[in-house]
Structure 1
Amino acid sequence: MSLSENLAQFGIQHITRGAVRSTDLVICRGSGIYVWTVDGKKYLDLSTGYGVTNTGHCHPTVVKAVQEQAANIPHAQMNMFFHKPMLDLIENLKPKLPSPKFNSFSFWNSGSEAVEASIKLARHATKKYNIVVFQGAYHGSTYGAASLNSSNSQFSAGYGPLMAGVHVAPYPYYQKTPGYISDPTTFTPERCGEDALCQLETLFKQRVAPTDTAAILIEPIQGEGGYVVPPKGYMEGVRAICDKYDILMICDEVQSGFGRTGKMFAIEHTSVLPDIMILAKGIASGYPLSCIVSDKSLMDCQPVATMVGTYGGNAISCAAANATLRVFDEENLLENCNERSKQFFSGFLTNLPAALPEGATVDVRGRGLMIGIEFLGVPAGFAESVRMEALRLDTIVLRASIYETLRIVPPLNITKEEADLAIQRVTEAVAAATKNIKA
C-alpha cells in the first residue's frame, strides 16, 4: 500500500464515520486550484473545500496576513477584548454589504453556528417561535441547524425529536415540480415561482400562524438542494409575504456569498434586502469564521452575554478575512468570476450533451462559479459514476442533492487555461460514465 493509502486506513479507523468524506485522498499541500497528496499526486480541485477557498489554496496575501497575526496574538477572546483584525474586518465588510443598514455583527466559527445565532436572534427579537424553511434546504449539521434541513433525510435520521417550531414550504425547483413534469412545454419557471409563493401563503393560512412566526429562512440559491436558482420575482415575493405578516427574512449566504455567484452576495441578483444575513465559507479563504449581520436596533434586542463563543471572531481568522477582501479588490475576482462563468456555461452546454447516454439531457444552472450540472434521463448513480471517473482523471468534483447532480465550485481566480482543462476533464468523466453503462 502507498503512504496515502496507509494513512487513509488509519483515518477510517479512528475518525468517526459521521464525518463523511467525498474522497479518501490524504493531501499535504495546495496552491491555487491544485492540491497534492502525500504521495506527490496532483489533483485539479473543483470543490474549493465546499466553496470555501474562493481565493484558491494558500493565496500568498492570505498566508502572509495569517503568519503576521499568529506572531502578534492568535486569540483575543471576543467577550474579553476588542481586537484590531475584527474591527478592521467590520470596516472592510460594511461597504461590500448590500445596504448600509447592515451595521451590526456577531462573529462565530462555522455556518452552522451562525445559522443557530440567527434563529436565536429572530426568536428573541420578535418574541415568536415558528421558523419557515424550504424543501431542499441545507443550513448546517449542529442540532438546531440540522432541524432546519430538508435536502436529505439522512442528516436528521435517528436524531429526533428535532427542534420544534420548524415548518417546510416548497422551493421553486422548476424541473421537479408537478407542473413541469406533466407539461414541460408550457410550464414556465415564472409560473413555478408563482405556485411556490401561493403554497407559502397557504401554509400560513392552514398550518402556521403568521402571528407566531419569527422568520422565514431562505437560501438565495440552494446549495445542497442542487444549486437551484429561484425564478425571477420569487425572492421579491417572499420579501412581500414577510412584510405583509411582519416576519423577519433571514438570508443564508453561507455557500453563495463572497463573490461565488459573480456578485458579492447572491441576494444582489434580486431587489430584495433581508433583515438578517448569514455569512461564512468564502469569508476567510479556509480559516474558520462566520457571522450574522443585521441592523443595530434588531441585534441589540438581545440581552448581554447571549451571543458569544470562545473562538468566535478569532484574530487569525479575521486577519485572513481582511486579506481575502484585499485580494477581491486587487485582483478583480468578481470580474474574473463572471468571465470564467461564461466560459464554463458555454463549454458545458457545448460539450456535455454529446457525452451523455442516448436519450439523456443535462441542465447546467447556477450563477457565477456556483454551477450545478443535473443529468436527466440517466440511470440512478450516474452522477456518482461521473464523480468517480473525474477522480480517476485527477479531478475533484462534488455531488449535490438527492438527484443526479454535480456541483462545480472552483476558486474565483481560476484562469482561462485552468477552466478549459476543467471543462475537458468533466466532459471526459461524463463520457466514461456513459461508457460504463454500455459495458
Structure 2
Amino acid sequence: MEPPGPRARRVVERTERLTSTSFLRQYPFVMKSGKGAILEDVDGNRYIDMNAGIAVLALGTAPDPVVRAIARAASRFTHYSYTDFYYEGIPRLAAELARITPGGFRKRVYFGNSGAEATEAAMKLTRYHSRRPRFLAFTGAFHGRTMGALSLTASKPVQVRGFSPLVPGVEHVPYPYCYRCPFGKTFPDCGFFCVDFIEDQLFRRHVPPDEVAAFFVEPIQGEGGYVVPPDGYFGRLKRLIEPHGIALVDDEIQAGMGRTGRWFAMEHFGVEPDVVLVAKAIASGLPLSAMIARDELMDWPPGSHASTFGGNPVAVEAALATIRTMRRMRVLENAERVGEHMMRRLEEMRERYEVVGDVRGKGLMIGVELVRDKSSREPSPEAARRVVDYSWRHGVLLITAGVSTLRFAPPLVITEELADEALDVVEEGMREADAEERRRRDPRDRRVFANV
C-alpha cells in the first residue's frame, strides 16, 4: 500500500509523542522484519535496503550465523563486565581486530558500546599519553554527539548549536573535498595545498604542533557527504604530523569493516594509523565499539578509563561471528564488485542528468551529489529530498549525507541484480528531480520560482 500505511502512522504518532524531540528522521519507514537486503514494514510493504541501518548491517538484516551466535551467547550469560572480570571472547576478538586493522605493529584494544564512546576513549588516551591539550579534526567531520566527540564534529550547525562550551583545544581544517575545494584549486595541480595550509597557517602561526595530541580523520567522510580524498593525501598528511609526534586517529566507524572493499578504508591509501576506531558494522547491529591502538600508546593506568557495558559478551560473540561470516562469504570481494557495478551505472546517470554533479566512492560506500546544474555546482537539497522520497515510496530505502548527497550504503551481501533493481527506482526519482530543476532554470518560470 501507499506508505506510510495505517500501522506505520500509528507507530510514528506514538513515537513522536513519547520520545525525545532530538531525532531527525527522513521518512516514516517503520521496520517490522527483514533478511539480507530485503526489509518489510509493519504494513507489509517490502523494500530494498540501501542504508544497512546507517552502514551497520554489513551482512544484512538477521544473518543466520550471527543470530545463532547471539542465541548461544545469551543462553550462557548476557553480562558480567569485562572491566572488572574476564571472559573468553574478549581476547579472541581483540586478536582478530589486531590482525585485520592496518599496521604490523603490536596493538591493544579497548571495547566500548558506540562510535562516540570510541572517539571519547581515543581523545582521552592520546591526551594522557602525550600530555598535550590540543586536537585537530576536519571541517565536515562527524565523530559523534557526546561532548568530546561533538567537539571534533563539524558537520552541521544543528549538531552543536546550544551546547557550547565544547571541549577546548580543537582546531578544524579543510577536508580534501576536491569537488568543492575550499581554496578554489584543482587536483593534482594544487600539490596538496590543503596539507601545506595546515603547516603554513596553523603550525607556523597559532597552533604549536608540539601541543597537539592527535589528528582525528575519517578516511572517507561519512555525514559530511561521502567525500573521497585523492590518492596520496593521507600519506602526505602523515609525513607532516609524524615528526611532531601527533597521533593519527583513523575513525573507521562508518567506512570500516569491509564497506569499501577492504577491511578498513585507510588501506586504500597505504597509511598505517596509530589508532583505529571501529563500531557500527562490527557486531551486526549489537552495541559494540573498539579502539585499537599501538601498544606503546596504551600506557594509561588501571581505573583511568572503563565502561560497565563495553565489550558485552553477547555483542562480542556477534562480532566474532560477523568477522567469520564475512570471510566465509567473501563479502569484501562482493562489496568491491557490486560497488564498481553501481558506480558505473551512477556515472551513466551523471552523464544523462544535469542534476547529478558528482559520483564518488569506494566499494559500497558511494555518494552522489545533486546540484542545480553542473556549471554552477550549487547544491540542491530539494532534488536530494525528492529522490529519497520517491525511492522509499517505490520500495527503496535511501538517505542523504552532507548538504545534497545521496548516500548508498547497502548490506555488503547485496547482489548486482538487487542493486540494479534499486537503481532503476532511484533513476526514476532522479529523472523527476532533473525535470524539476530544469523548470526552475527556465526563464519563463522565473516569476514562479523566484523565491524558492
Contact 2:357–2:368 (8 Å) recurs in 1: yes
Task: Give ranges in structure 2 of 5+ residues lacking alignment.
Answer: 374-379, 441-452
Partner Cα separation in structure 2 for residue 373 and residue 162 of structure 1: 32
Cα shift readout 1:82-122 (whole Å, capped 9, x = no counterpart): 11222221232232122232520000000000001000001
> How far apart, in 1, do the equivalents of 2:57 and 2:436 lie?
33
CA deviations 1:59-88 (Å, max 9, x no partner) are 001100001100011112012221122222
Tell me how far apart the structure 1 counterparts of residues 248 and 98 of structure 2 sit (CA, whole Å): 20
- The DSSP-based 3-state class of the residue aligned with 1:373 is strand
Question: d(CA) in 1 for partners of 2:27 and 2:145?
Answer: 20
Distance across 2 between alignment mates of 1:271 and 1:134: 20
What is the one-letter code of the residue matched to 1:50?
Answer: I
Query: Which of 328, 331, 334 is the equivalent residue of 1:336?
Result: 334
Shift of 1:22: 2.3
Is 1:80–2:84 an aligned residue pair?
yes
C-alpha RMSD over aligned residues: 1.6
What letter is aligned with 1:343? H
Instruction: Tell me the residue number matched to 2:394.
Output: 393
Could you list the per-position Cα deviations for residues 152-174 of structure 1 after superposition, in whole angstroms to 9, with x for gaps in the alignment?
11110011111101001111111
Q: Give the fraction of aligned pairs with identical amino acids, expressed as a percent.
A: 34
Question: What is residue 287 of structure 1 aligned with on the other side?
Answer: 286
Write the distance in 1 (CA, Å) between the matches of 2:183 and 2:297: 40
Structure-1 separation of matches of 2:348 and 2:402: 24
Partner Cα distance (1:30, 1:360) in 2 = 33
Which aligned pairs between 1:36-435 and structure 2 lie closer than 5 A?
36-178=40-182, 180=184, 187-192=185-190, 194-201=192-199, 202-299=201-298, 301-354=299-352, 356=353, 359-378=354-373, 379-402=380-403, 404-435=404-435
Question: 2:56, 2:211 → 1: CA distance?
Answer: 36
Could you say if the C-alpha distance between residues 89 and 178 of structure 1 is closer, same or farther in structure 2, counting changes exceeding 3 Å? closer
Q: Hey, what's the Cα distance between the residues in 2 that align with 1:377 and 1:179? A: 22
1: CA distance, partners of 2:187 / 2:362: 16
Give the secondary-structure state (helix, strand or coil) at the position aligned to 1:277: strand
Can you list the C-alpha shifts for 1:10-62, whole angstroms capped at 9, x where unaligned? 00111112122222222111111121111111111100111000110000011
Structure 1, 116-125 or 15-24: larger mean CA deviation: 15-24
Q: Distance in 2 between matches of 1:178 and 1:116?
A: 29
Q: Separation in 2 of the partners of 1:353 and 1:377?
A: 15
Alpha-carbon separation, structure 1, partners of 2:355 and 2:50: 24
Q: Structure 1 residues 42, 352: CA separation in 2 closer, same or farther (over 3 Å shift)?
A: farther
Match of 2:377 in 1: none
Q: Are residue 35 (structure 1) and residue 39 (structure 2) matched? A: yes
1:44, 1:242 → 2: CA distance?
A: 43
3-state SS, counterpart of residue 381 of structure 1 = helix
* SS in structure 2 at match of 1:220: coil
Cα deviation 1:381-424 (Å, max 9, x = unaligned): 2111111111111211111012x211100011111211111221
Aligned-pair CA distance for 1:351: 3.2
Matches of 1:37 and 1:158 in 2, distance apart? 35
Q: Which amino acid is the alignment partner of residue 89 of structure 1?
A: L
CA contact (8 A) 1:114 1:278 kept: yes
Cα separation, 1, equivalents of 2:41 and 2:302: 47
The superposition leaves residues 285-337 of structure 1 with CA deviations (integer Å, 9 ceiling, x where unpaired) of 111110101122211x2121122111100011111100100111110011111
CA distance in 1, matches of 2:165, 2:191: 32
Q: Which amino acid aligns with 1:59?
A: P
Q: In the alignment, is the contact (CA less than 8 A) between 2:115 and 2:253 conserved in 1?
A: yes
Partners of 2:95 and 2:130 in 1: CA distance: 28
Q: Which amino acid aligns with 2:365?
A: M
User: What secondary structure sits across from 2:266 in the alignment?
Assistant: helix
Tell me the amino acid that sits aligned with residue 146 of structure 2.
T
Distance 1:124 1:310, change over 3 A: same
Report if the CA contact (8 A) 1:136-1:222 is conserved. yes
The size of the alignment, in residue pairs, is 428
Kindly indicate whether the alpha-carbon contact (under 8 Å) linking 1:101 and 1:294 is maintained by their aligned counterparts in 2.
Answer: no
117-126 vs 20-29, which moves further: 20-29
> Alignment partner of 1:189: what SS?
coil
Question: How many Å apart are 1:436 and its aligned residue?
Answer: 4.3
Report the alpha carbon displacement of residue 434 of structure 1 after superposing the two structures with TM: 2.9
The answer to whether the Cα contact below 8 Å between 1:277 and 1:293 also exists between their aligned partners in 2 is: yes
Indicate the larger mover: 89-98 or 304-313.
89-98
Gap runs ≥5 in structure 1: 181-186
For normalisation by structure 2, the TM-score amounts to: 0.91
The one-letter code sitting in structure 1 at the alignment partner of 2:367 is G
Q: Aligned partners of 1:8 and 1:338: how far apart in 2?
A: 36
- The amino acid that maps onto 2:434 is T
Residues 394 and 197 (structure 1 numbering): CA distance in 2 closer, same or farther, change over 3 Å?
Answer: same
Give SS of 1:206's match: coil
State the 1:148 CA deviation: 0.8
Per the alignment, in what secondary structure is the counterpart of residue 124 of structure 1? helix
Aligned mates of 1:93, 1:247 — CA distance in 2: 23
SS, match of residue 66 in structure 1: helix
